[in-house]
Amino acid sequence: MDRIVLITGASSGVGLSLARHLAGRYRVVALARRVERIREEFRGNPDVEAYRLDLSDGEEVVRTLDGMAARFGFIPYLINNAGVNVKASLDELDERDLAGSLQVNAVSPAIFMKYLLPAMKKYDFGRIVNITSGAPLNCFPGYGAYSASKAALNALTVSAAKECASYNIKINLMSPGPVRTEMAPDAPMDPSVCYPTADYLLELGEDGPTGRFFWLGYEIPLFPDLEGIQWLEGKADKRFRKVI
């Protein structure tokens, strides 16, 4: 099996850093709008192939994936990294920016999974790392579009992991941490701090975790402890405060 890893948003930040880190051990298929940056960075490197892709255009995403399937066949590793971060309070947020955030940060990664999962199921192998953030767990003011889109990605990831539970397919979330990127130029850490977590998730064995959230080597719970809630009966035990 060829160790082909597809990385979106590979022209800068975490995506570019991961492409540098993985090239050589993997055959890297690097996608980004600013494809010339990738080609300049990896000029003459046979382990990296670069392709232009605008994730805000759903039709272009589908066309690109059709081309990837024809070019490479089975792609066993996927890192959904590309993202956008629009800062605005909800009452000032342009609905087009909200829709665009959801498209790039959640819908497009879901399309990538939809297209690559059938072959992963056929070959009974796949490792998917969806780059997320602590934002949907913290919900900082002014970042509602980003937090909502990453929350959607989190939910899609956990759902897909459960749907693939009978296969040797591991679908997990990784927050790279407070790393310096174009979206966060003042962050304190270099993107390389996420390498050990990324390596761990790409190299998971058949009994490894799936549908989980990882951050700088830690596994972080995505959901509160909901034991004691009977959803279909509309009841909860005494651990939960009843207000009416």
Q: Active-site residue among 115, 146, 167, 195?
A: 146
d(C-alpha 118, C-alpha 76), whole Å: 11
- Residues contacting 145, CB < 8 A, separation 6+: 86, 88, 93, 97, 98, 101, 102
77 is catalytic: no
Pairing between β-strand 169-175 and β-strand 4-8 as defined by DSSP bridges: unpaired
Amino acid identity of residue 60, one-letter, is: E
Q: What is the DSSP string of 29-86?
A: EEEES-HHHHHHHTTT-TTEEEEE--TT-HHHHHHHHHHHHHHHS---EEEE------
Interior angle at CA 186, CA 181 and CA 188, nearest 5: 90
Catalytic positions, written as ranges: 146
